[in-house]
Amino acid sequence: MTDVAKYGPWAVILGGSEGVGASFAHQLAGDGFNLVLVARRPEPLEETAAQLRKLGAQVRTHSLDLMRAESVQTLIGATADLEVGLLICNAGANSYGKPFLDGDLAGFQGVIDLNVTTPLALAQHYGRGMRDRGRGGILFVGSLAGYLGSARESVYGAAKAFGRIFAEGLWLELRDHGVDVLELVLGVTRTPAMERAGLDFDIPGLTVGEPADVAREGLAHLSDGPVWVVAGNEKVVEIRSRTDRATLAVGAHEALKRLMPE
Ligand SMILES: NC(=O)c1ccc[n+]([C@@H]2O[C@H](COP(=O)([O-])OP(=O)(O)OC[C@H]3O[C@@H](n4cnc5c(N)ncnc54)[C@H](OP(=O)(O)O)[C@@H]3O)[C@@H](O)[C@H]2O)c1
């Protein structure tokens, strides 16, 4: 159960319309939170919001592309009247999976903006209010990709590595102010986005997380920052942190080719 007195009354979930983001929302609504959900497509947003309202939550939805700088100001303006005690930066993706030399810089910049620039801006905005009140939480959804470089994911992996290191620093800065910061590191998770991308979840030995389990684990460990690795992925993190980077990168590259069709 997530303590609404410490982290409420409003939670903002970036990427709150489906999968892991919607699971966070459902669990928080069940614990008495009100929700602000942000995603691009209005239909899944409204569908999730309707379910949450049935649980008694007040819900606001904002159909925004979080790759766009103006979305930050729009969201800040639209939530100015709310006491936001919890920010969940879940929206993230390798939105431009090209080999680096063959792609446009603008495409790669979009990956950075979605996974880094926007979460930073909103963590600063909502974090200031939390620090003033002496309570709250900021959860960043990270990835095993942030522990090792991968072809076609060089920018995405680097962005996720940035997020983890940033979370550690912010955790240090806020831990004496009553504000929890957590980087929740996901392994492969059966989300609609990954299903649409055609991931092969049936590879023998692959650990596959379910959105509701992953969200539950993250919320349960909000105060166990700065980094929490979702159960079953600890060994991969340990291996990817070793020093023989070339062997590791080539091995993970082969594994990724089996997991993700080009
Ligand atoms: N699934 C995995 O295997 C996996 C593994 C490691 C890490 N992760 C991380 O986990 C998080 C969630 O991943 P997921 O996509 O699989 O799960 P998800 O939680 O099922 O869905 C992503 C959510 O983000 C929204 N979103 C995506 N791009 C957006 C944009 N540009 N602007 C606004 N909203 C956006 C989506 O709605 P719209 O599409 O309608 O915008 C959706 O609500 C990400 O940070 C990802 O990097 C996932």
Each residue's pLDDT expressed in tens, for the chain with a length of 262 residues: 999 999 999 999 999 999 999 999 999 999 999 999 999 999 999 999 999 999 999 999 999 999 999 999 999 999 999 999 999 999 999 999 999 999 999 999 999 999 999 999 999 999 999 999 999 999 999 999 999 999 999 999 999 999 999 999 999 999 999 999 999 999 999 999 999 999 999 999 899 999 999 999 999 999 999 999 999 999 999 999 999 999 999 998 888 888 776 6
Joined together, the tokens standing for residue 208 give: 């596959």
Between the alpha carbon of residue 118 and those of residues 25, 83, 121, 128, 222, the distances in Å are 20, 20, 5, 16, 21
Which residue owns the Cα nearest ligand 1 atom 24?
15
Whether the CB-CB separation of 93 and 65 falls below 8 Å is answered with no
Residue in the block written with tokens 């990427």: 15
Helix (H) or strand (E) holding 174: helix 154-174
- pLDDT score at 185: 98
**According to the model, what pLDDT value does residue 262 have?**
64
Q: Take residue 233 and report the two structure tokens written for it.
A: 């992925």
- DSSP letter at 230? P
Ligand 1 centroid – CA 91 distance (Å): 4
CB atoms within 10 A of CB 197: 13
Minimum-distance ligand 1 atom for the alpha carbon of 192: 20
Nearest one of 160, 196, 137 to 7, comparing CA atoms: 137
Establish whether 156 is a catalytic residue: yes
> Which protein residues are within 6 Å of ligand 1, measured from CB?
15-21, 38-41, 44, 64-67, 90-93, 114, 141, 143, 186, 188-189, 191-194
Is 18 within 8 Å of 47 (Cβ atoms)?
A: no
143-176 in b/e form (b: 16+ CB < 10 A) is bbbbbbbbebbbbbbbbbbbbbebbeebbeebee
Cα–Cα distances in Å, from 107 out to 83, 114, 156, 181, 259? 35, 11, 11, 29, 23
pLDDT of residue 206: 92
Euclidean distance between CA atoms 139 and 122, whole angstroms = 12
The span from the CA of 94 to the CA of 87, in Å, is: 21
Residue 141: name the closest of 118, 125, 124 by CA.
Answer: 118
- Output the pLDDT for position 261: 64
